[in-house]
A = this chain, B = another copy of it.
Protein backbone atom coordinates (compact mmCIF):
# COMPACT_ATOMS: atom_id res chain seq x y z
CA UNK A 1 0.00 0.00 0.00
CA UNK A 2 1.20 3.47 -0.91
CA UNK A 3 0.22 6.51 1.11
CA UNK A 4 -0.83 9.73 -0.59
CA UNK A 5 2.41 11.33 0.54
CA UNK A 6 4.48 8.50 -0.91
CA UNK A 7 2.67 8.71 -4.24
CA UNK A 8 3.30 12.45 -4.35
CA UNK A 9 6.97 12.03 -3.42
CA UNK A 10 7.70 9.28 -5.97
CA UNK A 11 5.94 11.13 -8.77
CA UNK A 12 7.79 14.32 -7.92
CA UNK A 13 11.08 12.46 -8.47
CA UNK A 14 10.33 12.14 -12.19
CA UNK A 15 11.32 15.80 -12.09
CA UNK A 16 14.88 17.08 -11.75
CA UNK A 17 13.98 19.95 -9.43
CA UNK A 18 12.58 17.60 -6.81
CA UNK A 19 15.43 15.11 -7.14
CA UNK A 20 17.79 17.96 -6.40
CA UNK A 21 15.71 19.24 -3.49
CA UNK A 22 15.22 15.86 -1.80
CA UNK A 23 18.48 14.19 -2.94
CA UNK A 24 16.47 11.09 -3.85
CA UNK A 25 15.88 9.21 -7.09
CA UNK A 26 13.88 6.20 -8.26
CA UNK A 27 14.95 2.97 -9.90
CA UNK A 28 12.67 0.31 -11.39
CA UNK A 29 12.83 -3.31 -12.45
CA UNK A 30 14.16 -6.43 -10.76
CA UNK A 31 17.68 -6.44 -12.14
CA UNK A 32 18.32 -2.73 -11.66
CA UNK A 33 16.93 -2.53 -8.10
CA UNK A 34 18.82 -5.65 -7.05
CA UNK A 35 22.09 -4.28 -8.45
CA UNK A 36 21.61 -0.98 -6.64
CA UNK A 37 20.68 -2.75 -3.39
CA UNK A 38 23.95 -4.66 -3.72
CA UNK A 39 26.00 -1.45 -4.10
CA UNK A 40 27.06 1.45 -1.86
CA UNK A 41 24.01 3.45 -3.02
CA UNK A 42 21.54 3.63 -0.13
CA UNK A 43 18.08 2.24 -0.85
CA UNK A 44 15.47 3.93 1.35
CA UNK A 45 12.35 2.00 0.42
CA UNK A 46 11.22 -0.73 -1.97
CA UNK A 47 7.69 -1.38 -3.21
CA UNK A 48 6.82 -4.38 -5.36
CA UNK A 49 3.78 -6.15 -6.73
CA UNK A 50 3.02 -9.87 -6.57
CA UNK A 51 5.09 -10.26 -9.75
CA UNK A 52 8.35 -9.67 -7.87
CA UNK A 53 9.98 -12.91 -6.79
CA UNK A 54 13.50 -11.83 -5.81
CA UNK A 55 15.20 -11.75 -2.38
CA UNK A 56 14.68 -8.05 -1.56
CA UNK A 57 12.47 -7.05 1.35
CA UNK A 58 9.66 -4.82 0.13
CA UNK A 59 6.24 -3.40 0.78
CA UNK A 60 3.58 -5.06 -1.32
CA UNK A 61 1.60 -2.80 -3.66
CA UNK A 62 -0.92 -3.46 -6.42
CA UNK A 63 -0.23 -3.16 -10.15
CA UNK A 64 -2.56 -0.14 -10.21
CA UNK A 65 -0.59 1.58 -7.47
CA UNK A 66 2.67 0.88 -9.29
CA UNK A 67 1.31 2.20 -12.59
CA UNK A 68 0.37 5.39 -10.78
CA UNK A 69 3.94 6.19 -9.71
CA UNK A 70 6.08 4.43 -12.33
CA UNK A 71 8.15 6.44 -14.82
CA UNK A 72 8.04 3.53 -17.28
CA UNK A 73 5.50 2.95 -20.04
CA UNK A 74 5.48 -0.71 -18.96
CA UNK A 75 6.09 -0.90 -15.18
CA UNK A 76 8.27 -3.83 -14.15
CA UNK A 77 6.84 -4.95 -10.83
CA UNK A 78 9.28 -3.19 -8.50
CA UNK A 79 10.29 0.38 -7.69
CA UNK A 80 12.88 1.65 -5.23
CA UNK A 81 13.43 4.99 -3.59
CA UNK A 82 17.18 5.65 -3.39
CA UNK A 83 19.48 8.28 -1.97
CA UNK A 84 21.63 10.35 -4.31
CA UNK A 85 25.23 9.92 -3.06
CA UNK A 86 26.88 13.04 -1.63
CA UNK A 87 29.49 13.17 -4.38
CA UNK A 88 31.10 11.01 -7.03
CA UNK A 89 34.31 11.08 -5.01
CA UNK A 90 37.67 12.65 -5.85
CA UNK A 91 38.86 13.09 -9.41
CA UNK A 92 40.79 9.99 -10.48
CA UNK A 93 44.46 9.66 -11.25
CA UNK A 94 44.59 8.77 -14.94
CA UNK A 95 48.24 7.75 -15.24
CA UNK A 96 47.19 4.17 -15.99
CA UNK A 97 43.49 4.47 -16.62
CA UNK A 98 40.95 5.60 -19.16
CA UNK A 99 38.04 7.95 -18.54
CA UNK A 100 35.23 9.26 -20.75
CA UNK A 101 34.28 12.95 -21.00
CA UNK A 102 30.82 13.91 -22.26
CA UNK A 103 30.55 17.44 -23.58
CA UNK A 104 26.95 18.50 -23.14
CA UNK A 105 25.24 15.17 -23.75
CA UNK A 106 21.50 15.78 -23.77
CA UNK A 107 19.67 12.52 -24.25
CA UNK A 108 19.06 10.67 -20.94
CA UNK A 109 19.06 7.28 -22.69
CA UNK A 110 22.41 8.04 -24.31
CA UNK A 111 23.98 8.93 -20.96
CA UNK A 112 22.68 5.73 -19.37
CA UNK A 113 23.93 3.66 -22.29
CA UNK A 114 27.38 5.30 -22.06
CA UNK A 115 27.54 4.40 -18.36
CA UNK A 116 26.76 0.76 -19.20
CA UNK A 117 29.41 0.83 -21.98
CA UNK A 118 32.02 2.32 -19.62
CA UNK A 119 31.30 -0.41 -17.08
CA UNK A 120 31.64 -3.12 -19.75
CA UNK A 121 34.97 -1.77 -20.96
CA UNK A 122 36.41 -1.30 -17.47
CA UNK A 123 36.21 2.49 -17.36
CA UNK A 124 35.26 3.69 -13.87
CA UNK A 125 35.03 7.46 -14.36
CA UNK A 126 32.90 9.68 -16.59
CA UNK A 127 33.20 13.48 -16.63
CA UNK A 128 30.08 15.37 -17.70
CA UNK A 129 29.97 19.07 -18.50
CA UNK A 130 27.62 20.87 -16.16
CA UNK A 131 24.99 21.38 -18.91
CA UNK A 132 24.77 17.63 -19.55
CA UNK A 133 21.63 15.68 -18.72
CA UNK A 134 21.43 14.59 -15.08
CA UNK A 135 22.45 11.05 -14.20
CA UNK A 136 19.49 10.45 -11.84
CA UNK A 137 16.93 11.10 -14.57
CA UNK A 138 14.72 7.94 -14.50
CA UNK A 139 15.46 7.23 -18.19
CA UNK A 140 19.20 7.43 -17.55
CA UNK A 141 19.05 5.25 -14.43
CA UNK A 142 17.01 2.70 -16.40
CA UNK A 143 19.38 2.64 -19.40
CA UNK A 144 22.40 1.95 -17.17
CA UNK A 145 20.90 -1.46 -16.33
CA UNK A 146 22.64 -1.32 -12.96
CA UNK A 147 26.00 0.08 -14.07
CA UNK A 148 25.08 3.34 -12.33
CA UNK A 149 26.13 1.57 -9.12
CA UNK A 150 29.66 0.91 -10.44
CA UNK A 151 30.67 3.95 -12.51
CA UNK A 152 31.48 7.37 -11.01
CA UNK A 153 29.91 10.25 -12.90
CA UNK A 154 31.51 13.64 -12.12
CA UNK A 155 29.77 16.88 -13.13
CA UNK A 156 32.56 19.34 -13.74
CA UNK A 157 33.76 22.37 -15.63
CA UNK A 158 34.93 20.18 -18.49
CA UNK A 159 37.23 22.76 -20.10
CA UNK A 160 39.06 23.28 -16.83
CA UNK A 161 39.33 19.60 -15.90
CA UNK A 162 40.66 18.63 -19.30
CA UNK A 163 43.30 21.36 -19.13
CA UNK A 164 44.39 19.99 -15.77
CA UNK A 165 44.76 16.44 -17.11
CA UNK A 166 46.44 17.73 -20.26
CA UNK A 167 49.02 19.51 -18.11
CA UNK A 168 49.69 16.12 -16.47
CA UNK A 169 50.35 14.64 -19.93
CA UNK A 170 47.21 12.55 -20.05
CA UNK A 171 46.39 12.10 -23.78
CA UNK A 172 42.97 13.48 -24.70
CA UNK A 173 41.22 11.92 -27.69
CA UNK A 174 38.32 13.81 -29.25
CA UNK A 175 35.75 11.90 -31.34
CA UNK A 176 35.15 14.04 -34.42
CA UNK A 177 34.03 13.58 -38.00
CA UNK A 178 37.37 14.64 -39.51
CA UNK A 179 40.14 13.30 -37.27
CA UNK A 180 42.49 10.39 -37.84
CA UNK A 181 40.96 7.04 -38.68
CA UNK A 182 40.50 5.27 -35.35
CA UNK A 183 41.93 2.08 -36.91
CA UNK A 184 45.10 3.90 -37.93
CA UNK A 185 45.48 5.37 -34.43
CA UNK A 186 47.68 3.71 -31.82
CA UNK A 187 45.99 4.37 -28.52
CA UNK A 188 47.90 5.09 -25.36
CA UNK A 189 47.43 2.86 -22.29
CA UNK A 190 45.66 5.74 -20.55
CA UNK A 191 43.68 8.75 -21.64
CA UNK A 192 40.37 10.54 -21.84
CA UNK A 193 37.90 9.92 -24.65
CA UNK A 194 35.86 13.07 -25.33
CA UNK A 195 32.40 12.64 -26.92
CA UNK A 196 30.52 15.73 -28.08
CA UNK A 197 26.92 16.83 -27.99
CA UNK A 198 24.49 14.81 -30.16
CA UNK A 199 23.82 17.70 -32.56
CA UNK A 200 26.81 20.02 -32.25
CA UNK A 201 29.78 17.80 -31.44
CA UNK A 202 32.61 19.00 -29.21
CA UNK A 203 32.50 22.65 -28.09
CA UNK A 204 35.36 25.03 -28.92
CA UNK A 205 36.34 25.43 -25.30
CA UNK A 206 36.74 21.68 -24.82
CA UNK A 207 38.34 21.15 -28.21
CA UNK A 208 41.31 23.25 -27.09
CA UNK A 209 42.39 20.50 -24.70
CA UNK A 210 42.10 17.67 -27.23
CA UNK A 211 45.51 16.25 -28.11
CA UNK A 212 44.33 13.68 -30.71
CA UNK A 213 41.38 14.05 -33.06
CA UNK A 214 39.99 10.69 -34.11
CA UNK A 215 37.07 9.51 -36.22
CA UNK A 216 35.27 6.24 -36.88
CA UNK A 217 35.48 5.65 -40.64
CA UNK A 218 32.20 5.17 -42.49
CA UNK A 219 31.85 2.17 -44.80
CA UNK A 220 28.65 3.44 -46.45
CA UNK A 221 28.51 2.60 -50.14
CA UNK A 222 27.05 5.90 -51.28
CA UNK A 223 25.84 8.71 -49.08
CA UNK A 224 25.48 7.30 -45.58
CA UNK A 225 24.47 8.91 -42.30
CA UNK A 226 26.32 12.04 -41.18
CA UNK A 227 27.31 10.52 -37.87
CA UNK A 228 26.77 7.70 -35.43
CA UNK A 229 24.71 8.03 -32.25
CA UNK A 230 26.87 9.38 -29.37
CA UNK A 231 26.64 6.19 -27.27
CA UNK A 232 27.34 3.99 -30.28
CA UNK A 233 30.44 6.04 -31.16
CA UNK A 234 31.63 5.73 -27.55
CA UNK A 235 31.28 1.95 -27.71
CA UNK A 236 33.10 1.55 -31.03
CA UNK A 237 36.07 3.61 -29.82
CA UNK A 238 36.22 1.96 -26.38
CA UNK A 239 36.13 -1.46 -28.07
CA UNK A 240 39.01 -0.50 -30.37
CA UNK A 241 41.21 0.93 -27.62
CA UNK A 242 40.65 -2.14 -25.45
CA UNK A 243 41.32 -4.45 -28.43
CA UNK A 244 44.67 -2.71 -28.97
CA UNK A 245 45.52 -2.90 -25.27
CA UNK A 246 44.91 -6.66 -25.05
B-binding residues in A (CB < 8 A): 31, 109, 113, 116-117, 119-122, 124, 143, 145-147, 150, 183, 216-226, 228-229, 231-232, 235-236, 239-240, 242-243, 246
Contacts and interface: CB of A to CB of B under 8 A. Distances in A.
5 contacts: A120-B224, A122-B218, A217-B242, A229-B231, A240-B243
Count of chain copies: 2
A242 B219 contact: yes
Which 8 pairs, one residue from A and one from B, show the smallest C-beta to C-beta distance?
A: A122-B219, A236-B239, A232-B235, A121-B219, A219-B242, A119-B224, A119-B225, A183-B243
Contacts of A150: 222-224
Given A236-B236, A236-B239, A239-B236, A224 B122 contact: yes
Given A225-B147, A236-B235, A219 B120 contact: yes
Given A145-B225, A228-B235, A235-B235, A119 B220 contact: yes
Contact of A113 (B122, B221, B229, B246): B229
Nearest to A117: B232
Contacts of A228: 116-117, 120, 235
Given A122-B224, A221-B124, A224-B122, A116 B229 contact: yes
B243 A120 contact: no
A109 B224 CA distance: 19
Contact of A146 (B183, B222, B225, B240): B225
Nearest to A241: B219
Given A113-B232, A117-B232, A232-B232, A239 B216 contact: yes
Contacts of A222: 150
A168 to B, nearest CB: 22
Contacts of A223: 150
Nearest to A147: B225
A216 B236 CA distance: 11
A116 B183 contact: no
Given A216-B239, A229-B231, 17 more contacts: A109-B109, A113-B229, A116-B225, A116-B228, A117-B229, A120-B216, A122-B218, A122-B219, A122-B224, A143-B229, A145-B229, A147-B225, A183-B243, A219-B242, A228-B235, A235-B236, A236-B239
